Amino acid sequence: MNNVTEHIKKHWEHLKGKKLFVACSAGLDSTCLIHALHSLGLDVNCVHVNYQLRDKDSDKDASFIKGFCENLSIPFLSKTIDLNKTLEKGGNLQQLARDYRYDWFDQLSDESENNLIVLAHHRDDQIETFLLNLSRKSGVMGLASMPYQRGQIIRPFLDIAKIELEKYARNNKIKWREDKSNTSNKYRRNVLRNEIIPFLKNEIQTIDESIVLLVDYFQAKQKELEQSIDRHIEQLHKTNTLSKEVYLNFDGFERVEFFRQLGQPSTKAMEMTRLSSAQKGKKLELVKHDKNKWLFVINDGSNFIYEPINTIERTFYLKKEIVGAIPNIFRKDELYLDSALIKGGLHLREWEIGDRIKPVGMQGSKLISDIISDAKVTFLEKKDILVLHDDDVIHWCVGYAVGRCALADKDSTEIIKCSVTYSILQE
CATH of the domain at 166: 3.40.50.620
219 falls within a domain: no
- How confident is the model over 336-389, as pLDDT tens digits? 999 999 999 999 999 998 999 999 988 999 999 999 988 887 766 787 899 999
On whether the CB atoms of residues 138 and 100 are closer than 8 A, the answer is no
329 with 394, same domain: the answer is yes
- Look at strands 115-118 and 153-154 and give their pairing: parallel
Strand order in the sheet with 415-426: 312-323, 415-426, 334-338
22 with 91, same domain: the answer is yes
- Residue 281 three-state SS: coil
Residue 21: pLDDT over 90: yes
Look up the pTM and report it: 0.69
Q: Across all residues in the chain, what is the average pLDDT?
A: 90
268 with 370, same domain: the answer is no
Residue ending a domain, among 279, 308, 337, is 308
333 falls within a domain: yes
C-alpha–C-alpha distance, residues 401 and 368, integer Å: 9
C-alpha–C-alpha distance, residues 136 and 370, integer Å: 49
406 with 320, same domain: the answer is yes
297 with 320, same domain: the answer is no
Residue ending a domain, among 308, 323, 356, is 308
113 falls within a domain: yes
Mean per-residue pLDDT, 276-301: 89
Residue 302: pLDDT over 60: yes
C-alpha–C-alpha distance, residues 84 and 97, integer Å: 10
The number of folded domains in the chain is 3
Residue 15: pLDDT over 90: yes
On whether the CB atoms of residues 388 and 346 are closer than 8 A, the answer is yes
146 with 186, same domain: the answer is yes
323 with 186, same domain: the answer is no
222 falls within a domain: no
Per DSSP, helices labelled H in 25-139 are 28-39, 56-72, 83-87, 93-111, 123-135
**Higher pLDDT among residues 383 and 416, named by residue:** 416
150 with 86, same domain: the answer is yes
C-alpha–C-alpha distance, residues 267 and 395, integer Å: 47
Of 238-242, 321-325, 354-358, 382-386, the range with the lowest mean pLDDT is 382-386
- The type of residue at 345 is G
212 falls within a domain: no
Residue 150: pLDDT over 70: yes
The domain spanning residue 316 has which CATH number? 3.50.40.10
* pLDDT bracket for residue 18 (50, 70, 90): very high
153 with 294, same domain: the answer is no
Phi-psi region of 382 (alpha: psi -120 to 50; beta: other; left: phi over 0): alpha
- How confident is the model over 23-45, as pLDDT tens digits? 999 999 999 999 999 999 999 99
168 falls within a domain: yes
415 with 339, same domain: the answer is yes
288 with 375, same domain: the answer is no
- How confident is the model over 170-229, as pLDDT tens digits? 999 999 998 777 777 777 888 888 899 999 989 999 999 999 999 999 999 999 999 999
- Residue 337 three-state SS: strand
235 falls within a domain: no
Give the structural domain span for 176. Answer: 3-206
* pLDDT bracket for residue 310 (50, 70, 90): low
25 falls within a domain: yes
On whether the CB atoms of residues 36 and 4 are closer than 8 A, the answer is yes
Residue 427: pLDDT over 50: no
C-alpha–C-alpha distance, residues 27 and 182, integer Å: 11
84 with 117, same domain: the answer is yes
